[in-house]
Structure 1
Amino acid sequence: MKLLMIEDNKSVSEMMAMFFKKERWDAHFAYDGNEAVKMFNEDVDGWDMVTLDLNLPGRDGMQVSADIRKASPTVPIIMLTARDSESDQVLGLEMGADDYVTKPFSPITLIARIKALHRRADLGKQVAAETPTNAVSDFDVQTDHFKLNTKTREAYLGGKEIKDLTPKEFDLLKTLAQKPRQVFSREQLLQLVWDYEYYGDERTVDAHIKKLRQKIEKAGPQIIQTVWGVGYKFDDGGVDEQ
Protein backbone atom coordinates (compact mmCIF):
# COMPACT_ATOMS: atom_id res chain seq x y z
CA MET A 1 0.00 0.00 0.00
CA LYS A 2 1.24 3.48 -0.89
CA LEU A 3 -0.02 5.83 1.80
CA LEU A 4 0.18 9.60 2.25
CA MET A 5 -0.11 10.83 5.84
CA ILE A 6 -0.81 14.56 6.07
CA GLU A 7 -0.01 15.59 9.63
CA ASP A 8 1.71 18.72 10.96
CA ASN A 9 2.68 17.07 14.26
CA LYS A 10 5.99 15.41 13.47
CA SER A 11 5.99 13.33 16.64
CA VAL A 12 2.69 11.75 15.56
CA SER A 13 4.10 11.14 12.08
CA GLU A 14 7.26 9.57 13.48
CA MET A 15 5.23 7.30 15.76
CA MET A 16 2.98 6.17 12.90
CA ALA A 17 6.00 5.69 10.62
CA MET A 18 7.13 2.85 12.87
CA PHE A 19 3.72 1.15 12.64
CA PHE A 20 3.54 1.67 8.87
CA LYS A 21 7.01 0.16 8.50
CA LYS A 22 5.90 -2.87 10.50
CA GLU A 23 3.00 -3.31 8.05
CA ARG A 24 5.51 -2.92 5.18
CA TRP A 25 3.54 -0.02 3.72
CA ASP A 26 5.16 2.60 1.50
CA ALA A 27 4.35 5.62 3.69
CA HIS A 28 5.03 9.25 2.77
CA PHE A 29 4.50 12.29 4.97
CA ALA A 30 3.44 15.90 4.35
CA TYR A 31 3.51 18.46 7.14
CA ASP A 32 1.42 21.31 5.71
CA GLY A 33 -1.51 21.65 3.32
CA ASN A 34 0.35 23.10 0.37
CA GLU A 35 3.04 20.43 0.52
CA ALA A 36 0.35 17.74 0.77
CA VAL A 37 -1.52 18.82 -2.35
CA LYS A 38 1.75 19.08 -4.30
CA MET A 39 2.85 15.60 -3.22
CA PHE A 40 -0.51 14.07 -4.03
CA ASN A 41 -0.67 15.64 -7.48
CA GLU A 42 2.78 14.30 -8.34
CA ASP A 43 1.34 10.75 -8.38
CA VAL A 44 -2.45 11.05 -8.41
CA ASP A 45 -3.13 7.48 -9.52
CA GLY A 46 -0.39 5.95 -7.37
CA TRP A 47 -1.84 6.58 -3.91
CA ASP A 48 -3.83 3.84 -2.20
CA MET A 49 -4.76 5.76 0.97
CA VAL A 50 -4.65 9.24 2.48
CA THR A 51 -4.85 10.15 6.16
CA LEU A 52 -5.58 13.81 6.67
CA ASP A 53 -5.33 16.01 9.75
CA LEU A 54 -7.81 18.90 9.52
CA ASN A 55 -5.67 21.38 11.47
CA LEU A 56 -2.86 22.19 9.03
CA PRO A 57 -0.65 25.19 8.28
CA GLY A 58 -0.48 26.60 4.76
CA ARG A 59 -3.81 25.22 3.61
CA ASP A 60 -6.44 23.84 5.98
CA GLY A 61 -7.52 20.22 5.88
CA MET A 62 -10.95 20.95 4.44
CA GLN A 63 -9.41 22.62 1.40
CA VAL A 64 -6.82 19.87 1.07
CA SER A 65 -9.62 17.28 1.09
CA ALA A 66 -11.48 19.22 -1.61
CA ASP A 67 -8.32 19.52 -3.73
CA ILE A 68 -7.55 15.81 -3.41
CA ARG A 69 -11.12 14.89 -4.29
CA LYS A 70 -10.95 17.11 -7.36
CA ALA A 71 -7.84 15.27 -8.53
CA SER A 72 -9.05 11.80 -7.50
CA PRO A 73 -12.75 11.20 -6.79
CA THR A 74 -12.13 7.70 -5.45
CA VAL A 75 -8.91 7.58 -3.39
CA PRO A 76 -9.82 6.56 0.20
CA ILE A 77 -9.41 9.39 2.73
CA ILE A 78 -9.41 9.05 6.53
CA MET A 79 -9.62 12.30 8.51
CA LEU A 80 -7.94 12.86 11.84
CA THR A 81 -9.95 15.24 14.02
CA ALA A 82 -10.04 16.53 17.60
CA ARG A 83 -12.68 15.08 19.91
CA ASP A 84 -14.44 18.40 20.35
CA SER A 85 -14.71 19.21 16.64
CA GLU A 86 -17.96 17.39 15.84
CA SER A 87 -19.00 19.92 13.22
CA ASP A 88 -15.63 19.50 11.52
CA GLN A 89 -16.14 15.74 11.39
CA VAL A 90 -19.45 16.08 9.58
CA LEU A 91 -18.16 18.81 7.27
CA GLY A 92 -15.08 16.75 6.48
CA LEU A 93 -17.22 13.76 5.53
CA GLU A 94 -19.33 16.02 3.34
CA MET A 95 -16.15 17.29 1.67
CA GLY A 96 -15.32 13.75 0.57
CA ALA A 97 -13.61 11.87 3.40
CA ASP A 98 -14.59 8.21 3.80
CA ASP A 99 -13.97 7.84 7.52
CA TYR A 100 -12.57 9.68 10.51
CA VAL A 101 -10.53 8.92 13.61
CA THR A 102 -10.60 11.25 16.61
CA LYS A 103 -7.48 12.49 18.40
CA PRO A 104 -5.87 11.34 20.55
CA PHE A 105 -6.01 7.97 18.83
CA SER A 106 -4.46 4.57 19.27
CA PRO A 107 -2.06 3.68 16.42
CA ILE A 108 -3.63 0.23 16.36
CA THR A 109 -7.07 1.79 15.85
CA LEU A 110 -5.85 3.87 12.92
CA ILE A 111 -4.12 0.87 11.37
CA ALA A 112 -7.36 -1.15 11.68
CA ARG A 113 -9.40 1.63 10.03
CA ILE A 114 -6.87 1.92 7.19
CA LYS A 115 -6.94 -1.84 6.60
CA ALA A 116 -10.74 -2.01 6.61
CA LEU A 117 -11.12 0.87 4.15
CA HIS A 118 -8.28 -0.32 1.92
CA ARG A 119 -9.64 -3.86 1.86
CA ARG A 120 -12.90 -2.70 0.30
CA ALA A 121 -11.30 -0.28 -2.15
CA ASP A 122 -8.59 -2.73 -3.20
CA LEU A 123 -11.05 -5.57 -3.70
CA GLY A 124 -13.07 -3.41 -6.06
CA LYS A 125 -9.96 -2.54 -8.09
CA GLN A 126 -8.77 -6.14 -8.31
CA VAL A 127 -12.11 -7.54 -9.39
CA ALA A 128 -12.60 -4.79 -11.96
CA ALA A 129 -9.15 -5.45 -13.41
CA GLU A 130 -9.92 -9.15 -13.75
CA THR A 131 -13.32 -8.55 -15.36
CA PRO A 132 -13.43 -8.93 -19.17
CA THR A 133 -14.92 -6.02 -21.06
CA ASN A 134 -17.87 -8.07 -22.23
CA ALA A 135 -18.92 -8.57 -18.60
CA VAL A 136 -19.87 -4.91 -18.16
CA SER A 137 -23.45 -5.77 -19.09
CA ASP A 138 -23.73 -8.25 -16.20
CA PHE A 139 -25.33 -6.36 -13.33
CA ASP A 140 -25.61 -7.61 -9.76
CA VAL A 141 -28.46 -5.23 -8.92
CA GLN A 142 -31.03 -4.28 -11.54
CA THR A 143 -34.43 -2.60 -11.33
CA ASP A 144 -36.57 -0.85 -13.95
CA HIS A 145 -34.41 2.26 -13.86
CA PHE A 146 -31.22 1.36 -11.97
CA LYS A 147 -28.28 -0.98 -12.61
CA LEU A 148 -25.20 -1.71 -10.50
CA ASN A 149 -22.16 -3.84 -11.32
CA THR A 150 -20.07 -4.83 -8.31
CA LYS A 151 -17.20 -6.13 -10.45
CA THR A 152 -16.68 -2.90 -12.38
CA ARG A 153 -17.87 -0.67 -9.49
CA GLU A 154 -20.28 1.10 -11.83
CA ALA A 155 -23.85 2.26 -11.24
CA TYR A 156 -26.36 3.62 -13.75
CA LEU A 157 -29.64 5.46 -13.37
CA GLY A 158 -31.86 5.62 -16.43
CA GLY A 159 -28.90 4.54 -18.55
CA LYS A 160 -26.68 7.37 -17.27
CA GLU A 161 -23.66 6.55 -15.09
CA ILE A 162 -23.54 7.82 -11.52
CA LYS A 163 -19.96 9.04 -11.62
CA ASP A 164 -17.11 9.48 -9.16
CA LEU A 165 -18.48 7.31 -6.36
CA THR A 166 -16.03 6.79 -3.50
CA PRO A 167 -15.66 3.23 -2.12
CA LYS A 168 -17.99 3.98 0.79
CA GLU A 169 -20.58 5.73 -1.40
CA PHE A 170 -20.66 2.77 -3.78
CA ASP A 171 -21.04 0.27 -0.93
CA LEU A 172 -23.77 2.40 0.64
CA LEU A 173 -25.69 2.62 -2.64
CA LYS A 174 -25.32 -1.12 -3.23
CA THR A 175 -26.54 -1.97 0.28
CA LEU A 176 -29.67 0.13 -0.15
CA ALA A 177 -30.37 -0.91 -3.75
CA GLN A 178 -30.13 -4.63 -2.99
CA LYS A 179 -33.29 -4.27 -0.89
CA PRO A 180 -35.55 -1.81 -2.76
CA ARG A 181 -38.00 0.04 -0.49
CA GLN A 182 -36.62 -1.68 2.61
CA VAL A 183 -35.89 0.89 5.31
CA PHE A 184 -32.43 0.74 6.88
CA SER A 185 -31.67 2.48 10.15
CA ARG A 186 -28.47 4.46 10.45
CA GLU A 187 -27.12 1.91 12.91
CA GLN A 188 -27.77 -0.90 10.42
CA LEU A 189 -25.97 0.99 7.67
CA LEU A 190 -22.98 1.63 9.94
CA GLN A 191 -22.71 -2.10 10.58
CA LEU A 192 -23.29 -3.21 7.00
CA VAL A 193 -21.19 -0.62 5.15
CA TRP A 194 -18.50 0.31 7.66
CA ASP A 195 -18.09 -3.17 9.18
CA TYR A 196 -18.00 -3.95 12.90
CA GLU A 197 -14.48 -2.50 13.04
CA TYR A 198 -16.02 0.95 12.64
CA TYR A 199 -17.13 2.77 15.77
CA GLY A 200 -18.61 6.05 14.64
CA ASP A 201 -21.84 7.94 15.12
CA GLU A 202 -24.87 8.12 12.91
CA ARG A 203 -23.95 11.50 11.43
CA THR A 204 -21.36 9.65 9.38
CA VAL A 205 -24.21 7.97 7.48
CA ASP A 206 -26.04 11.28 7.00
CA ALA A 207 -22.93 12.94 5.57
CA HIS A 208 -22.33 10.13 3.09
CA ILE A 209 -25.99 10.05 2.07
CA LYS A 210 -25.80 13.77 1.33
CA LYS A 211 -22.78 13.35 -0.94
CA LEU A 212 -24.28 10.27 -2.59
CA ARG A 213 -27.49 12.14 -3.35
CA GLN A 214 -25.56 14.97 -4.97
CA LYS A 215 -23.92 12.52 -7.35
CA ILE A 216 -27.17 10.69 -8.07
CA GLU A 217 -28.88 13.96 -8.99
CA LYS A 218 -26.28 14.56 -11.71
CA ALA A 219 -27.51 11.35 -13.38
CA GLY A 220 -31.26 11.60 -12.77
CA PRO A 221 -34.08 11.78 -10.20
CA GLN A 222 -33.39 11.11 -6.53
CA ILE A 223 -33.69 7.44 -5.59
CA ILE A 224 -32.46 7.58 -1.97
CA GLN A 225 -35.39 8.51 0.25
CA THR A 226 -35.44 9.59 3.88
CA VAL A 227 -37.84 7.82 6.20
CA TRP A 228 -38.15 10.35 8.99
CA GLY A 229 -37.30 9.05 12.42
CA VAL A 230 -36.07 5.72 11.04
CA GLY A 231 -33.43 5.94 8.32
CA TYR A 232 -33.14 5.60 4.54
CA LYS A 233 -34.41 3.47 1.68
CA PHE A 234 -33.81 2.96 -2.04
CA ASP A 235 -36.88 3.58 -4.20
CA ASP A 236 -36.79 4.29 -7.94
CA GLY A 237 -40.54 3.84 -8.35
CA GLY A 238 -41.08 7.54 -9.01
CA VAL A 239 -38.44 7.90 -11.72
CA ASP A 240 -40.99 7.85 -14.57
CA GLU A 241 -42.88 10.67 -12.90
CA GLN A 242 -39.87 13.01 -12.90
Structure 2
Amino acid sequence: MSQETILIIDDEKEIRDLIGIYLTNEGYNVLKAEDGVDGLNYLENEVVHLVVLDIMMPRLDGIQACLKIRENRNVPIIMLSAKSLDMDKIMGLTTGADDYVTKPFQPLELVARIKSQLRRYLRFNQIDGNPQLSTTQQMDAISIDELFIKVSTHEVTVNGKEIKLTPREFAILELLARNPGVVFSTEKIYERVWNEPFYESENTIMVHIRNLREKLEDNPRSPRYIKTVWGVGYKIEQ
Protein backbone atom coordinates (compact mmCIF):
# COMPACT_ATOMS: atom_id res chain seq x y z
CA MET A 1 0.00 0.00 0.00
CA SER A 2 1.15 3.54 -0.71
CA GLN A 3 2.33 5.70 2.19
CA GLU A 4 2.45 9.05 0.43
CA THR A 5 0.53 11.93 1.98
CA ILE A 6 -1.86 13.99 -0.13
CA LEU A 7 -3.24 17.33 1.01
CA ILE A 8 -6.72 18.27 -0.25
CA ILE A 9 -7.46 22.01 -0.06
CA ASP A 10 -11.07 22.78 -0.94
CA ASP A 11 -13.77 24.82 0.79
CA GLU A 12 -16.47 22.27 -0.13
CA LYS A 13 -16.61 19.54 2.50
CA GLU A 14 -18.35 17.15 0.10
CA ILE A 15 -15.48 17.46 -2.39
CA ARG A 16 -12.84 16.96 0.33
CA ASP A 17 -14.62 13.91 1.66
CA LEU A 18 -15.24 12.40 -1.79
CA ILE A 19 -11.62 12.72 -2.88
CA GLY A 20 -10.48 11.55 0.54
CA ILE A 21 -12.51 8.33 0.33
CA TYR A 22 -11.02 7.38 -3.05
CA LEU A 23 -7.46 8.20 -1.96
CA THR A 24 -7.79 6.39 1.35
CA ASN A 25 -9.03 3.32 -0.52
CA GLU A 26 -5.84 3.51 -2.60
CA GLY A 27 -3.75 3.47 0.57
CA TYR A 28 -2.71 7.13 0.68
CA ASN A 29 -2.53 9.24 3.81
CA VAL A 30 -4.97 12.14 3.42
CA LEU A 31 -4.97 15.61 4.98
CA LYS A 32 -7.85 18.03 4.44
CA ALA A 33 -7.95 21.83 4.61
CA GLU A 34 -10.89 24.11 3.91
CA ASP A 35 -8.91 27.06 2.53
CA GLY A 36 -5.45 28.18 1.47
CA VAL A 37 -4.46 29.46 4.91
CA ASP A 38 -5.15 26.12 6.60
CA GLY A 39 -3.48 24.32 3.69
CA LEU A 40 -0.26 26.32 4.07
CA ASN A 41 -0.26 25.55 7.80
CA TYR A 42 -0.36 21.83 7.00
CA LEU A 43 2.55 22.22 4.59
CA GLU A 44 4.61 23.90 7.31
CA ASN A 45 4.05 21.07 9.77
CA GLU A 46 3.55 17.89 7.73
CA VAL A 47 5.42 16.00 5.01
CA VAL A 48 3.18 16.32 1.96
CA HIS A 49 3.86 14.61 -1.37
CA LEU A 50 1.08 16.15 -3.49
CA VAL A 51 -1.52 18.92 -3.18
CA VAL A 52 -5.01 18.91 -4.67
CA LEU A 53 -5.91 22.61 -4.69
CA ASP A 54 -9.25 24.28 -5.42
CA ILE A 55 -9.08 27.75 -6.98
CA MET A 56 -12.18 29.50 -5.61
CA MET A 57 -11.86 29.64 -1.81
CA PRO A 58 -12.30 32.21 0.99
CA ARG A 59 -9.42 33.88 2.87
CA LEU A 60 -6.68 32.66 0.48
CA ASP A 61 -7.69 31.38 -2.94
CA GLY A 62 -5.96 28.64 -4.92
CA ILE A 63 -3.97 30.98 -7.17
CA GLN A 64 -2.43 32.82 -4.22
CA ALA A 65 -1.90 29.59 -2.31
CA CYS A 66 -0.15 28.06 -5.32
CA LEU A 67 2.19 31.03 -5.59
CA LYS A 68 3.00 30.74 -1.88
CA ILE A 69 3.70 27.01 -2.17
CA ARG A 70 5.98 27.54 -5.15
CA GLU A 71 8.16 30.00 -3.23
CA ASN A 72 10.02 27.12 -1.60
CA ARG A 73 8.45 23.78 -2.59
CA ASN A 74 8.36 21.67 -5.75
CA VAL A 75 5.60 19.32 -4.53
CA PRO A 76 3.15 18.48 -7.36
CA ILE A 77 -0.02 20.58 -7.41
CA ILE A 78 -3.24 19.58 -9.17
CA MET A 79 -5.72 22.45 -9.40
CA LEU A 80 -9.47 21.99 -9.27
CA SER A 81 -11.84 24.56 -10.72
CA ALA A 82 -15.38 24.95 -11.99
CA LYS A 83 -13.92 27.22 -14.69
CA SER A 84 -13.19 25.37 -17.92
CA LEU A 85 -12.00 28.19 -20.23
CA ASP A 86 -8.50 27.88 -21.67
CA MET A 87 -7.43 31.17 -20.08
CA ASP A 88 -8.40 29.88 -16.65
CA LYS A 89 -6.33 26.74 -17.21
CA ILE A 90 -3.40 28.81 -18.47
CA MET A 91 -3.61 31.03 -15.38
CA GLY A 92 -3.52 28.00 -13.11
CA LEU A 93 -0.57 26.44 -14.91
CA THR A 94 1.30 29.75 -15.08
CA THR A 95 1.20 30.14 -11.31
CA GLY A 96 2.98 26.80 -10.92
CA ALA A 97 0.34 24.06 -11.00
CA ASP A 98 1.32 20.78 -12.67
CA ASP A 99 -2.15 19.77 -13.78
CA TYR A 100 -5.66 21.23 -13.97
CA VAL A 101 -8.92 19.33 -13.51
CA THR A 102 -12.31 20.86 -14.22
CA LYS A 103 -15.29 20.34 -11.92
CA PRO A 104 -17.37 18.23 -12.04
CA PHE A 105 -14.75 15.51 -12.43
CA GLN A 106 -14.58 11.73 -12.38
CA PRO A 107 -12.90 10.71 -9.09
CA LEU A 108 -11.12 7.79 -10.75
CA GLU A 109 -9.64 10.13 -13.37
CA LEU A 110 -8.39 12.43 -10.64
CA VAL A 111 -6.85 9.47 -8.81
CA ALA A 112 -5.10 8.40 -12.03
CA ARG A 113 -3.67 11.90 -12.48
CA ILE A 114 -2.51 11.92 -8.87
CA LYS A 115 -0.73 8.59 -9.32
CA SER A 116 0.97 9.84 -12.49
CA GLN A 117 2.20 13.00 -10.75
CA LEU A 118 3.45 11.06 -7.74
CA ARG A 119 5.38 8.53 -9.85
CA ARG A 120 7.31 11.28 -11.57
CA TYR A 121 7.82 13.37 -8.45
CA LEU A 122 9.10 10.45 -6.37
CA ARG A 123 11.39 9.24 -9.15
CA PHE A 124 12.96 12.68 -9.55
CA ASN A 125 13.48 13.08 -5.81
CA GLN A 126 14.90 9.65 -5.04
CA ILE A 127 18.67 9.28 -4.65
CA ASP A 128 19.96 5.87 -5.60
CA GLY A 129 22.59 4.67 -3.09
CA ASN A 130 23.94 1.81 -5.20
CA PRO A 131 27.72 2.34 -5.55
CA GLN A 132 27.75 0.58 -8.92
CA LEU A 133 26.58 3.24 -11.34
CA SER A 134 23.98 2.18 -13.87
CA THR A 135 23.57 3.84 -17.26
CA THR A 136 20.76 5.93 -15.82
CA GLN A 137 22.93 7.07 -12.92
CA GLN A 138 25.76 7.95 -15.27
CA MET A 139 23.32 10.31 -16.99
CA ASP A 140 22.30 11.83 -13.67
CA ALA A 141 24.16 15.07 -14.47
CA ILE A 142 23.33 16.91 -17.68
CA SER A 143 25.32 19.99 -18.65
CA ILE A 144 24.55 22.27 -21.60
CA ASP A 145 26.55 25.51 -21.70
CA GLU A 146 25.73 27.23 -18.38
CA LEU A 147 22.71 25.01 -17.73
CA PHE A 148 23.30 22.19 -15.25
CA ILE A 149 20.72 19.52 -14.35
CA LYS A 150 21.12 16.92 -11.59
CA VAL A 151 18.27 14.49 -12.07
CA SER A 152 18.46 12.49 -8.82
CA THR A 153 18.11 15.59 -6.64
CA HIS A 154 15.89 17.59 -9.00
CA GLU A 155 18.43 20.44 -9.08
CA VAL A 156 18.75 22.94 -11.91
CA THR A 157 21.21 25.81 -12.09
CA VAL A 158 22.05 28.42 -14.72
CA ASN A 159 25.35 30.27 -14.29
CA GLY A 160 25.49 28.78 -10.80
CA LYS A 161 22.11 30.22 -9.83
CA GLU A 162 19.54 27.73 -8.54
CA ILE A 163 16.36 27.57 -10.62
CA LYS A 164 13.22 26.23 -8.95
CA LEU A 165 11.05 24.19 -11.31
CA THR A 166 7.77 22.36 -10.88
CA PRO A 167 7.89 18.59 -11.46
CA ARG A 168 6.26 19.02 -14.90
CA GLU A 169 8.69 21.76 -15.91
CA PHE A 170 11.60 19.62 -14.75
CA ALA A 171 10.30 16.60 -16.68
CA ILE A 172 9.99 18.60 -19.91
CA LEU A 173 13.44 20.11 -19.47
CA GLU A 174 14.99 16.71 -18.76
CA LEU A 175 13.31 15.19 -21.82
CA LEU A 176 14.69 17.89 -24.12
CA ALA A 177 18.13 18.01 -22.46
CA ARG A 178 18.62 14.23 -22.65
CA ASN A 179 17.94 14.40 -26.39
CA PRO A 180 19.88 17.44 -27.63
CA GLY A 181 19.07 18.43 -31.20
CA VAL A 182 15.95 16.23 -31.32
CA VAL A 183 12.72 18.11 -32.06
CA PHE A 184 9.74 17.05 -29.95
CA SER A 185 6.22 17.98 -30.99
CA THR A 186 3.77 19.19 -28.36
CA GLU A 187 2.00 15.84 -28.75
CA LYS A 188 5.19 13.85 -28.09
CA ILE A 189 6.13 16.00 -25.10
CA TYR A 190 2.70 15.53 -23.57
CA GLU A 191 2.65 11.78 -24.12
CA ARG A 192 6.19 11.30 -22.77
CA VAL A 193 5.79 13.57 -19.72
CA TRP A 194 2.16 13.05 -18.79
CA ASN A 195 2.17 9.35 -19.74
CA GLU A 196 -1.28 9.59 -21.26
CA PRO A 197 -2.75 10.18 -24.75
CA PHE A 198 -2.56 13.69 -26.14
CA TYR A 199 -5.94 15.40 -26.36
CA GLU A 200 -6.27 19.13 -27.04
CA SER A 201 -3.33 19.78 -24.73
CA GLU A 202 -1.22 22.09 -26.90
CA ASN A 203 -1.89 25.12 -24.67
CA THR A 204 -0.70 23.15 -21.65
CA ILE A 205 2.70 22.50 -23.26
CA MET A 206 3.00 26.09 -24.49
CA VAL A 207 2.42 27.43 -20.98
CA HIS A 208 5.05 25.12 -19.47
CA ILE A 209 7.59 26.03 -22.17
CA ARG A 210 6.91 29.72 -21.56
CA ASN A 211 7.39 29.23 -17.81
CA LEU A 212 10.66 27.38 -18.40
CA ARG A 213 11.98 30.16 -20.60
CA GLU A 214 11.03 32.79 -18.03
CA LYS A 215 13.05 30.91 -15.41
CA LEU A 216 16.03 29.77 -17.51
CA GLU A 217 16.63 32.51 -20.03
CA ASP A 218 18.12 35.99 -19.73
CA ASN A 219 15.86 36.98 -22.63
CA PRO A 220 12.87 34.62 -22.97
CA ARG A 221 11.95 36.19 -26.32
CA SER A 222 15.32 35.12 -27.71
CA PRO A 223 15.90 31.81 -25.90
CA ARG A 224 19.36 30.33 -25.58
CA TYR A 225 18.28 26.86 -24.52
CA ILE A 226 14.75 25.85 -25.51
CA LYS A 227 14.34 26.59 -29.21
CA THR A 228 11.11 26.61 -31.20
CA VAL A 229 11.09 24.83 -34.53
CA TRP A 230 8.09 26.51 -36.10
CA GLY A 231 5.35 24.15 -37.11
CA VAL A 232 7.18 21.18 -35.60
CA GLY A 233 7.92 21.55 -31.89
CA TYR A 234 10.75 22.28 -29.45
CA LYS A 235 14.38 21.27 -28.94
CA ILE A 236 17.54 22.00 -26.97
CA GLU A 237 20.81 22.31 -28.83
CA GLN A 238 23.96 20.79 -27.30
Structure 2 residue matching 1:16: 3-state secondary structure: helix
Report the counterpart of residue 206 of structure 2 in structure 1. Answer: 206
Equivalent position to 2:20, from 10, 17, 21? 17
Shift of 1:197: 6.2
Distance 1:71 1:162, change over 3 A: closer
Report the counterpart of residue 177 of structure 1 in structure 2. Answer: 177
Report the counterpart of residue 48 of structure 1 in structure 2. Answer: 49
- Please give the per-residue CA displacement for 1:177-217, whole angstroms capped at 9, x wherever unaligned: 12223221111110111111675611111111122112213
Distance 1:131 1:200, change over 3 A: farther
Shift of 1:42: 2.8
Equivalent position to 1:6, from 6, 9, 17? 9
Equivalences, count? 230
TM-score, normalised via structure 2 length: 0.85
Q: Distance in 1 between matches of 2:144 and 2:43?
A: 38
Mapped contact 2:187–2:198 kept (Cα < 8 A): no
Q: Which residues of 2 match residues 220-235 of structure 1 at below 5 A?
A: 222-235=224-237
Shift of 1:77: 0.4
| 2:41 is aligned with 1:38 | yes
Q: Distance in 2 between matches of 1:180 and 1:208?
A: 19
Distance 1:34 1:140, change over 3 A: closer
Moved more, 220-229 or 15-24: 220-229
Structure 2 residue matching 1:130: 3-state secondary structure: coil
Structure 1 residue matching 2:124: 3-state secondary structure: helix
Give the RMSD, CA atoms, in angstroms.
2.8
Shift of 1:96: 0.5
Percent identity for Structure 1 against Structure 2: 37
Distance 1:200 1:107, change over 3 A: farther
Distance 1:41 1:131, change over 3 A: farther
Shift of 1:86: 2.2
Q: Distance in 1 between matches of 2:128 and 2:164?
A: 17
- Please give the per-residue CA displacement for 1:129-181, whole angstroms capped at 9, x wherever unaligned: 6377x9999645344554433223334445x2552122211110111112223
Q: Distance in 1 between matches of 2:209 and 2:236?
A: 11
Structure 1 residue matching 2:71: 3-state secondary structure: helix
Mapped contact 1:41–1:71 kept (Cα < 8 A): no
Structure 2 residue matching 1:151: 3-state secondary structure: coil
Shift of 1:82: 2.3
